[in-house]
Amino acid sequence: MYKTSTILQSFNEIEKYKSRWFKQNDQIINPIEINLSDYKKDRDAYIKRLNNIYQKNLDNSDVEGIFGKASFLDNNTIECNGDTYQAENILIACGGMPSKLDVPGNEHTINSDQFFDLKEVPKRTIVVGGGYIATELSQIISTFGSKVTILVRKCLLSTFDQELAGFQVNNLENSGITYQCGEVEKIDKNEDGSLKVTFQDGKIQEVDCVLVAIGRSPMLGPLKLENTDVEYDQSKIHTDEFDKTTADSIHAVGDCNGKVALTPVAIRAGRIVAERLFNNRPQLKMNYDNVPSVIFSNPPIGSVGLSEEKAVEKYGKDDLNIYKTTFGSKSLTYLNKNFEMKSSIPKRKIRL
């Protein structure tokens, strides 16, 4: 009853955005069609409110904000907007940028940032990529009414436990998303604005949107790290167990150090660097093991610790006992959907 009342409550909340009942091939994909433009306005306003709260917290802590692109002049000097700033310690937290699809016509694609700028739901979408961002955005845009194909090079969620990934593939297919292995060869724009996507196997698919979610890498160029002793490569800034770079005065946390790309991890790592440097806790360091993560799919899947594949790689198969158990989602029990969750097999792995 709680579940039902929550659903009804959600219908009341969504009332503002619905325009009509939505059907595809005579099948109700989603009971309502979302007015994405109105929805976006409210979501953007919410984010603006959050920005203001963070700004106030910084002001209250006497933190001065300088808005501009920062670059290094040396290990202790930053240049920004023509001014220079010197510091004993500098923290890099420049995050990452979505990687581009390296094929002719990539200018017709959008990335995950632009996804949140969509004002209309595309009728047909190809999502390129097999990570959690591709998975989450596929389901969102599909339930909003788009006919979605998810295109992966090898397999979905390759860094996750493959049993969970298998569950997710079933999940996507059950929700009407086509799952396809392959790679894009080129993208052409048709006169009516739609896109003709040619795959490497020669097949062609016409869609209205190609969303690329093939990973993220730090935008290091503008930082001019070549003026420092910081070592880095295309995918990350190299750091030690204390998140210190190869320059003593410079630390790097968050997505740019290539360890665990999640918001709470970036926040925690930043706090730990501050505690160690300024609160006399010289041995404090971030533990990047066993960070729990969730994929916001329907239903959501979560995991913590090593995947079975990684555990076997680390300890060897003979040193592991693997226990499995299944359970049905209580929220689906009343719909008699329990048995559809056959592949929902959470596992406990114990090293003996």
Ligand X SMILES: Cc1cc2nc3c(=O)[nH]c(=O)nc-3n(C[C@H](O)[C@H](O)[C@H](O)COP(=O)(O)OP(=O)(O)OC[C@H]3O[C@@H](n4cnc5c(N)ncnc54)[C@H](O)[C@@H]3O)c2cc1C
Kindly report each contact of residues 136-140 with a partner whose C-beta sits within 8 Å and lies 24 or more positions away, as own/partner. Answer: 136/295, 136/296, 136/297, 137/112, 137/211, 137/213, 138/172, 138/177, 139/172, 139/175, 139/177, 139/297, 139/298
Q: 179 - beta bridge partners? A: 150
Both tokens of residue 336?
Answer: 């008699």
Q: What are phi and psi of 188, to 5 degrees?
A: -115, 145
Q: Are 175 and 143 in contact (CB under 8 A)?
A: yes
Q: Which of residues 189-248 bind ligand X (CB under 6 A)?
A: 219, 222-223
**Site track 94-123 with ligand X (rule: CB under 6 A), x = hit:** xx----------------x-----------
Among 232, 255, 259, 344, binds ligand X (CB under 6 A): 255
Shortest Cβ 44–ligand X spacing (Å): 15
Among 264, 282, 302, 316, binds ligand X (CB under 6 A): 264
Shortest Cβ 98–ligand X spacing (Å): 7
**Site track 305-324 with ligand X (rule: CB under 6 A), x = hit:** --------------------
Shortest Cβ 271–ligand X spacing (Å): 12
Binding segment (CB under 6 A) for ligand X, from list 6-14, 51-59, 161-169, 260-268: 260-268
Shortest Cβ 51–ligand X spacing (Å): 11
Q: Does 258 bind ligand X (CB under 6 A)?
A: no
The enclosing H or E element of 322 equals strand 320-324
Binding segment (CB under 6 A) for ligand X, from list 87-95, 178-186, 189-197, 203-211: 87-95
Q: How many CA atoms lie within 13 A of 71 on its CB side?
A: 12
Binding segment (CB under 6 A) for ligand X, from list 13-21, 90-98, 178-186, 278-286: 90-98
How far is Cα of residue 192 from the mean position of the Cα atoms in its chain? Answer: 32
The candidate with the shortest Cα–Cα distance to 152, out of 181, 111, 186, is 181
What is the dihedral sign for C-alpha 283, 289, 292, 297?
positive
Shortest Cβ 123–ligand X spacing (Å): 22
Contacting residues toward ligand X, per CB under 6 A: 69-70, 93-95, 112, 133, 219, 222-223, 254-256, 261-264, 266
